[in-house]
């Protein structure tokens, strides 16, 4: 039996500072293949080459990955500043349209870090350029030094809503996660439900209320050692179940809500 296809949104990079490539971390591929049980397909997130409509015909679900470039503030009605960092307008164009289309059709997606922020912006929300500059907030950025294990180490607790979709997936309302992001949700979009917070009040888990399919996103990086982590594994397993349901009948698995 053929595995359902999960499109993994890539990012633009310069290899050896000269050669343009579209790439994504191997841990995303591994999580989709080994934990979700799906066929990973890397997507060049550039509207010159792909469109949301074409991708939805080819893929059964999507992972919106993390990435160093941030969503451009013009996408949520704010002016660009130095604090907003670098951008990838091509990915903005593909990802935001794809999120809105998937929500409408019920096609499954999982947003991760930048993908979490893309989901909020696509649904009409806005972002803070730098969480650590806000009063009372912690520094959620990746540690500048150390091994990969140290950078992706579990660093804070996330509390999710009782009876909500993340509670049902995790089997707990309090979980430990890594944290490797600078930006975060400022204003949630009209249908964006914040279902998980870090202890400093930073939004960490969201879903789209009333979406006819799997429409979840997290601010941390569950793809890191997903098969071994007690939080990441059920998240990617639940996503894989939703993708298989879509591939099998081209119908949403369930509506996303707190009920």
Active site positions, annotated = 113, 221, 223
Taking Cα atoms as reference points, which of 15, 24, 250, 213 lies closest to residue 110? 213
Take residue 3 and report the two structure tokens written for it. 């595995």
Taking Cα atoms as reference points, which of 183, 193, 136, 181 lies closest to residue 155? 181
* Contact between 235 and 222 (Cβ < 8 Å): yes
Task: Indicate the SS3 state at residue 95.
Answer: helix
Q: Which residues pair with 21 in a beta bridge?
A: 13
Q: Is the dihedral of CA 197, 189, 165, 233 positive or negative?
A: negative
Taking Cα atoms as reference points, which of 193, 217, 39 lies closest to residue 111? 217
Find all residues with CB under 8 Å of 70, minimum gap 6, and list them: 84, 85, 86, 87, 114, 117, 127, 129, 182, 183
């Amino acid at each position: 039996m053929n595995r359902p296809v999960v499109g993994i949104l890539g990012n633009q990079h310069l290899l050896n500072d000269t050669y343009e490539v579209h790439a994504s971390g191997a841990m995303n591929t591994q999580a989709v293949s080994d934990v979700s049980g799906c066929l990973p397909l890397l997507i060049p997130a550039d509207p010159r080459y792909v469109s949301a409509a074409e991708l939805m015909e080819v893929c059964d679900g999507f992972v919106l990955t993390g990435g160093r470039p941030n969503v451009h503030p013009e996408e949520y009605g704010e002016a660009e500043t130095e604090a907003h960092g670098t951008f990838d307008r091509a990915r903005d164009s593909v990802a935001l349209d794809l999120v809105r289309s998937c929500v409408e059709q019920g096609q499954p997606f999982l947003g991760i870090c930048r993908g979490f922020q893309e989901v909020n912006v696509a649904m009409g929300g806005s972002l803070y350029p730098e969480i650590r500059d806000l009063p009372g907030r912690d520094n959620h950025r990746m540690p500048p030094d150390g091994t990969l294990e140290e950078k992706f180490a579990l660093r804070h607790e996330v509390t999710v809503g009782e009876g909500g979709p993340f509670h049902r997936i995790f089997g707990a309302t309090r979980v430990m996660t890594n944290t490797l992001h600078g930006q975060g949700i400022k204003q949630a979009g009209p249908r964006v439900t914040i279902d998980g917070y870090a202890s400093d009040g930073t939004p960490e888990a969201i879903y789209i209320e009333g979406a006819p399919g799997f429409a979840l996103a997290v601010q941390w990086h569950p793809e890191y050692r997903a098969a071994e982590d007690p939080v990441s594994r059920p998240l990617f397993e639940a996503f894989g179940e939703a993708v298989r349901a879509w591939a099998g009948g081209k119908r949403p698995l369930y509506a996303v809500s707190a009920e």
